[in-house]
Amino acid sequence: MEFEIGKKYQIIKTGSSISWTETNCISEFKTITKQLYIGDIVEYKGRKDFPGCDVSYDIFEIDKAEGVFWPNQFGGAKEEYLKKIF
C-alpha cells in the first residue's frame, strides 16, 4: 500500500504509536509518544527528513499532533497496522 498525503487511515492492529518532540522555545526538548488503539483514525502528512538520519520517516497526525509512526521499517510505517478509509 502506498500512503496518500491527506488521506485518513484506521489503526487495525495493537502495538503502534506516534512520537514527536516538543521544545517550548528553549534549548531543552522532550519526546512524546502517544499509544494508538484499534479504531483510532490518523491522517497521513507525508515523509520527513531528519538531520543526521539516513532515512526519511512517514509522518501521521492524530488530535492535532504530528509525529513518526512506529513501528516502521527503513522509515516506512508498517502497513499491516493501517487500513485506508475511503
Cell triple for residue 77? 510505517
Q: Which three cell numbers stand for residue 61?
A: 497526525
- Report d(CA 34, CA 71) in Å as an integer: 13
- Distance of alpha carbon 63 from alpha carbon 55, whole angstroms: 26
| CA 3 – CA 28 distance, rounded (Å) | 33
pLDDT at 13: 93
Q: Which residues of 51-66 are buried (b: 16+ CB within 10 A; e: fewer)?
A: eeeeeebbbbbbeeee
Q: What is the pLDDT of residue 62?
A: 95
Give the model's pLDDT for residue 17: 92
Q: What is the largest CA-CA distance in the chain?
A: 42
Question: What is the per-residue pLDDT for 16?
Answer: 92
**Which residue positions in the chain have pLDDT lower than 50?**
none
